[in-house]
């Protein structure tokens, strides 16, 4: 399970690149960087699209000004959906949208949420993490589908 003081698990994440789909190793990608990693249950879903991610878009410049190299958003979906969702949120070059298409990252972190009862299946739970050189330094993980602690404003307080 992901914990403060431990390395981020290694799992495949994906994004639309210039020549197709790029595969990224989650741990290798964050080594040598200070990163804010935001996990959401679903792209284009109400709470994620109307509450959680707009806060990160609005506060991206301030977050990045705190010696953060990159803000990353991860969701269990495909890279094309993440790209389209990022465009709809106007993330520009401020937030990297990565797909956890097979749910391997959410599972490796033990941050899965089973929404099978809603016909959605297993997705990522909602969270926000600060990672420094691959090590988790702050973890704001929500219970169930709640949106109480994983906001951009709370991440700013931790930075």
From the list 13, 36, 48, 71, the catalytic residue is 48
> Cβ atoms within 10 A of the Cβ of 159, count?
15
Handedness of CA 42, 44, 46, 52 (dihedral sign): positive
For the question of residue 73 being annotated catalytic, the response is no
Active site amino acids: 48
């Amino acid at each position: 399970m992901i914990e403060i003081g431990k390395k981020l698990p290694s799992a495949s994440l994906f994004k639309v690149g210039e020549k197709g789909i790029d595969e990224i190793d989650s741990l290798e990608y964050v080594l040598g960087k200070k990163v804010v990693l935001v996990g959401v249950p679903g792209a284009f879903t109400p709470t994620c699209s109307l509450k959680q991610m707009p806060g990160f878009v609005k506060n991206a410049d301030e977050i990045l000004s705190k010696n953060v190299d990159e803000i990353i958003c991860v969701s269990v979906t495909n890279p094309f959906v993440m790209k389209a969702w990022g465009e709809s949120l106007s993330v520009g070059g401020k937030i990297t949208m990565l797909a956890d298409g097979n749910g391997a990252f959410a599972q490796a972190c033990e941050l899965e949420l089973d929404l099978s009862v809603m016909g959605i299946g297993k997705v990522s739970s909602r969270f926000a993490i600060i990672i420094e050189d691959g090590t988790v330094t702050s973890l704001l993980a929500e219970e169930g589908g709640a949106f109480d602690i994983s906001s951009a404003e709370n991440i700013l307080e931790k930075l």
